[in-house]
Amino acid sequence: MRKKWMRAVVIAVASVVIVLGLVFAVTMRSGEPESTQSLSALQPAWTTPRTPSYSTAAPLPTTRPTLTVDSGCRLGQGPATLDPVPEATTRRVNAAWDRVERWLKAKAPATAATLRPPATIARITEAQRQSGVAFPAELVASLLRHDGVSDTSESFDLPPFHQPASAETVEREAKVMCEVLTSSGLDGNVGSWWHGRFVPIAVDGGGNGLFLDQRTGTGRLGEWDHEGSVSSGRWPPTLTELLEQTATALETGGPVIDGYRPVVTEKRALDWDIPR
């Protein structure tokens, strides 16, 4: 599925839902006056005032549920310094990015131009502190290579439709997800919908994305669906492996992640084609 086509489908579906909702609302409202008029026409005029009635129903609760389990959210309380990145991790991440960049420059220069310059150590450190969780070494290595991508229609996506997050985006998404999690007050959402020790690393523009699970410090790669739950079954264990698999898919023509294959658009940009 192409990015533009997929976004068009989302917009179309949303439009249908809105139209159906409006039709329903209009139908309900237009039906009320007729029913009211026909009933009132059959009833005699009142000669004495009716006794007012008062509802005895209990008032609606004014308090919201509160989490009784630890959400893991420690916004603004993350480590104030970055852990050293092992040289082996840096070499492997950079080698994967080398392969991706080489292919993009040769085949999809419009997408190559969307790769942003490296983030600074200071910016990554602040994002870690604000997010409230230690960043995995491979994420730091990747941010030191590219601070995410520019958000355009030709931007680089990890397959199939996830833009690598900048340090700023990591921080913002972590805050938003934790705020929604804690405000929901539902214990069952902790760990199944989001957890404060998840580190967002890529977003799809629709409220979903990829994260590294730091609950045990392993940084297991997974994805979240803002309307559903988190999962990791179809993803490689690490960000580094996802970068390497992406590079291989570009060099060989795929497939990767559920069978998606890279294609080059007329604008000489990278897109991921839906499996046939």
What's the pLDDT tens digit per position in 106-154? 999 999 999 999 999 999 999 999 999 999 999 999 999 999 999 999 9
More confident residue, 186 or 11: 186
pLDDT band at 60 (very low <50, low <70, confident <90, very high): low
CB 225 within 8 A of CB 208: yes
How many other C-beta atoms are found inside a 10 Å radius of the C-beta of residue 47?
5
Give exposure, 133-160, as e/b (b: 16+ Cβ within 10 Å). bbbbbbbbbbbbbbbbbeeeebbbbbbb
**Cis bond leading into 255, ω under 30°?**
yes
pLDDT, greater one: 129 or 53:
129
Q: Give the DSSP per-residue string, 33-74.
A: HHHHHHHHHHSPPPSSPPPP----PPPPP-------S-----
Alpha carbons 210 and 237: distance in angstroms, whole number: 12
User: Is a pLDDT exceeding 60 seen at residue 12?
Assistant: no
Q: What is the mean pLDDT of residues 93-99?
A: 98
Query: For residue 263, what are the β-bridge partners?
Result: 271
Please count the other Cβ atoms lying within 10 Å of the Cβ belonging to residue 236.
17
Answer whether residue 15 shows pLDDT above 50.
no
Q: What is the pLDDT of residue 64?
A: 79
Burial class (CB in 10 A: 0-12, 13-18, 19+), 7: middle
State residue 174's pLDDT score: 98
Q: How much is the pTM?
A: 0.78
Q: Please state the rounded mean pLDDT for residues 71-96.
A: 98
